[in-house]
Amino acid sequence: MELYELTIHEAQELLRKGEISAVELTQAVIERIVEVDNQVKAYLTVTPESALEQAREADRRQAAGEDHSLLGIPLAIKDVICTKGVPTTCGSRILENFIPPYDATVIEQLRQRGAVILGKTNMDEFAMGSSTENSAFFPTRNPWDLSRVPGGSSGGSAAALAADECLGALGSDTGGSVRQPAALCGVVGLKPTYGRVSRYGLVAFASSLDQIGPFGKDVTDCTIMLQAIAHYDARDSTSVDVPAPNYAQALVPDIRGMRVGVPREYFVEGMQPGVETAVRSAIEKMADLGAEVDEVSLPHTEYSLPAYYLIAPAEASANLARYDGVKYGYSHPEVEDVWDAYRQTRQNGFGPEVKRRIMLGTYALSAGYYDAYYLKAQKVRTLIKRDFDQAFGKFDVLVAPTSPTVAFKIGEKVDDPLQMYLSDVFTLSLNLAGICGISIPCGFADGLPVGLQIMGDAFAEEVVLRVAYAYEQSTEWHRRRPEL
């Protein structure tokens, strides 16, 4: 086995025993990036010198007797999370040369634990997209089939992990942007409860929906990553002061007697048959493991997509107003006056999907339309949340497909926004409700990975992790890796 193929917990063990060094591990991963990233194109920025310096420091800390879960572990970071001294572009021309003067809270937490940061991964511009084709720079490719998308918007992080170009990664999830690419790339991706992980230093898309989440090669790695970043942060007004439990204690391969709900609204017409077959088979496996499986209804699910595409663009239109060519970021050089400067900067700096969503959101918030659209969408959001509250009164977790299809061809949906938006039809509801969910590999359809989504109530990550771990340990899907 090559060093870059290790999981975080396998590498941890070898580092603690002194059988490998952080420098050797980091060097192996950097060489892997050099070898395959010209095909996958997962990274926007790689910082090999800085990574090796961090690895040397990790080795010094290890020798001094420090013992942290991520000490010497090479990680990739989605390029929407601020990293001091390293470009943070959000996949956009408007921030192409932006270098933050500070680290996001999650980056501070990773550094405290001795993690090695390899670089920044590609993404849909400002996290708006489901395929990583909306990046202003280039599309990322799926390591299982280079002609297909890796999902989005955190496609770079998921593809880097699937291609063994890192041992773990961070993404952000506004409507499925961690879970959907995890499903399409055959890795594990977790969206924590809203408020569980600090958003300080996460460049905002939709502030009431955004949440940073980890990617891992298996559930154990995802758990280690979550433990590192799940902390209260006074700098984030939406951070909730609820102590994080010891998530590792949840990793027991026993779900006998646990109540698993299967929402009938998540099995819809138009779903790829192979996806439904794989997910139904995974649900049967849970029943075999002793879970009590029953059907449940979430009646307002059909309104999730329209509600999301009013609320998220409305918040984006407000959040992205700051990119005006004055304070930082791209500023169009040839302008007549300040109004022309605003127009030209935003016209040339933003890509078509970002402009589409800004216009949608601005319209939804405009005088005369606010009550009819934005306010009504917020009321629907409350109904969606109540559906989940009632379901979690009867069930410990809900299980469903993560995505209605496997990875689609690059270019297949790029000219049809509605078809692209439907890629997230099973993931949006969780963000609207503010609860947690994980996507884990559960099989293949047409030779491509299928993801199983396990949803939990607010701050019930350990319940979700327990079910995910028990299922994972009873199957071999998480061990399959693409050949590059």
Q: Helix-strand-coil percent breakdown of the chain, rounded to 5?
A: 45, 15, 40
Residues in a beta bridge with 121:
43, 78
Tokens coding 25: 């591990």
Cβ distance 250 to 216 under 8 Å? no
Catalytic annotation, pick one of 78, 120, 217, 413: 78
Is 177 designated active site? yes
Question: Which strands sit side by side in the sheet containing 188-191, from one edge to the other?
Answer: 43-46, 116-121, 74-78, 168-172, 212-216, 188-191, 436-445, 448-456, 397-401, 259-263, 292-296
Burial class (CB in 10 A: 0-12, 13-18, 19+), 316: buried
Closest-CA residue to 271 (of 180, 402, 404, 403): 404
**Nearest-angstrom CA–CA distance, 11 and 36:** 21
Is 191 designated active site? no
**Nearest-angstrom CA–CA distance, 152 and 132:** 5
**Nearest-angstrom CA–CA distance, 355 and 484:** 36
Backbone angles phi, psi at 31, to 5 degrees: -65, -35
Catalytic annotation, pick one of 177, 304, 403, 423: 177
Tokens coding 102: 């500070």
Cβ distance 196 to 163 under 8 Å? no
CA-based R_g, the chain, Å: 21
Tokens coding 256: 């006998």
**Nearest-angstrom CA–CA distance, 243 and 252:** 21
**Nearest-angstrom CA–CA distance, 151 and 140:** 9
Residue where the block lists tokens 């924590």? 192
Catalytic annotation, pick one of 130, 135, 153, 429: 153
* Torsion sign (Cα): 131, 187, 433, 388: positive
Backbone angles phi, psi at 449, to 5 degrees: -65, 145
Angle between helices 376-394 and 304-319 (to 10 degrees): 120
Is 78 designated active site? yes
User: Cβ–Cβ contacts within 10 Å for residue 50, how many?
Assistant: 16
- Tally of helices (H runs) and strands (E runs) in the chain: 15, 11
- The residues assigned a catalytic role are 78, 153, 177
